Chain A
């Protein structure tokens, strides 16, 4: 948890070596030299704090504005930091699945599915066809839930749900083209709304999307309107995928056996899944015991928030909250 006010916890002073002192000094110099500089009287700094009315997020957003136009933005995160990666190291692999499912209401299922698959690979275990289809159903249900909640927030801010109003309000806002998105590590909706059918569901050998005739929806606008409309299309696509997966599930035999997570040899395994917002990657390092040595979770919200300046630069300050609402950032996933 971030603690900007109570510095007493630094009472157990750690003695730094001269090299560490040098590093710390160099780092402080860097921090000061790289701070955004306000250059003229028409430029201002505006801070949106985690508890700001209507903000709906739990990070500190600093906007640099000139007149009414945003010319830069920075996010400060960590207010909800829970040390989930550290916590995973003291739990068994099976407990880890349960913890991750409950960790985030938005993309907890994606996290636990990616973790399960990574651990299965470490254990050289192969899940049944039934398990694979059930995973697709839960992932797609989570996608519907996530997109619906993002769209509801946008409807609330726009004040109307007609396509005409949405187009008028969102068109041209927050343009992020394909090359910028790729260089910033922005996958999922942002990339598909910029005309590029990048979707991990195409190349997934672990989740049989090809059996369901999956095709990624793509739009060309590369703006907030394109991203919003893509969510609508993806909800319909996910419903269809669930229906087809349920149909195939009827042909799969019932099973009682549980997969036993038991990594045999020390190895590192990474697994990505296409979560509602984009690529969610989990890396697990096992040493042969039932507890992981290290679990790393990289969420799409992390990538989105790290590129917040890309999304907001050039926007009018009136549009900032609306743009943020279209991004579907979950602060919990960033802080972990």
Chain B
């Protein structure tokens, strides 16, 4: 059951403060690109609004883009409405230098480990996370392996 209107237009109409920078309509779901400063408002709205009801967080991860002059991470959030049976992708671009994002754990409790993995693998700092530590690697590990410029240290 797809929502009656595109999520982008619902957001524009009901929450004009949130600027949707770009959107793509995939075969079975939409992807929106928003500014980092609107992330919390947007996620809260998408979860609680009766027209959207994206109550379940499916995934959080990132893609490291290094081709452009300013390297950045495209951090994506996948959310799903268990009632409407519809999925949405929300992306936020953050510059590689001082890469950080606010936590969404107060909105989606399931974000806890996903944000820890984001820090562990990409080094994107998650502000306000209740327990930000590495998830899959050990604390003394240097670097973040899923960055495109990560090089494995030589064994001595």
Contact = CB atoms under 8 A, between A and B. Distances in A.
Contact of A268 (B55, B64, B89, B133): B89
B138 to A, nearest CB: 5
B82 A283 contact: no
Interface string A255-298: 00000000000011110100000010101010000000110101
A202 B129 CA distance: 35
A294 B63 contact: yes
A8 B156 contact: yes
Contacts of A23: 100, 125
Nearest to A79: B136
B85 A14 contact: no
Contacts of B141: 9-10
A27 B132 contact: yes
B57 A185 contact: yes
Interface residues of A, number: 57
Contacts of B138: 2-4, 78
A283 B136 contact: no
Contact of B27 (A12, A30, A205): A205
B29 interface: yes
Contacts of A27: 119, 125, 132-133
B23 interface: no
A306 B113 contact: yes
A232 to B, nearest CB: 24
Contact of A34 (B26, B28, B56, B130): B130
A86 interface: yes
Given A8-B156, A81-B136, A205-B28, A14 B63 contact: no
Interface string B16-29: 00000000101111
Given A185-B57, A268-B31, A298-B58, A7 B140 contact: yes
Contacts of A313: none
Given A182-B82, A306-B110, A31 B133 contact: yes
B26 A269 contact: yes
A305 B130 CA distance: 17
B109 A270 contact: no
A302 interface: yes
Contacts of A93: none
A11 B153 contact: yes
Interface in B1-42: 1, 24, 26-29, 31
B112 A279 contact: no
Given A31-B131, A121-B26, A270-B29, A281 B110 contact: no
A198 interface: yes
Contacts of A7: 140
A86 to B, nearest CB: 6
A19 B143 contact: no
A7 B27 CA distance: 47
Interface of A: 2-4, 7-14, 19, 23, 27, 30-31, 34, 77-78, 81, 83, 85-86, 121, 182-187, 191, 196, 198, 202-203, 205-206, 267-270, 272, 279, 281, 283, 285, 293-294, 296, 298, 302-303, 305-307, 335-336
* A-B complex: 4 closest residue pairs judged by Cβ atoms: A185-B110, A306-B113, A78-B136, A203-B85
29 contacts: A9-B155, A12-B154, A13-B142, A23-B125, A27-B132, A30-B129, A34-B130, A78-B134, A78-B136, A78-B137, A83-B145, A85-B121, A85-B146, A86-B145, A182-B82, A183-B108, A185-B56, A185-B109, A198-B82, A268-B74, A268-B89, A270-B29, A270-B89, A272-B58, A272-B80, A279-B58, A283-B76, A285-B63, A293-B63
Given A23-B125, A268-B31, A306-B114, 10 more contacts: A30-B133, A78-B134, A182-B56, A203-B85, A206-B28, A268-B89, A272-B87, A281-B59, A293-B63, A298-B58
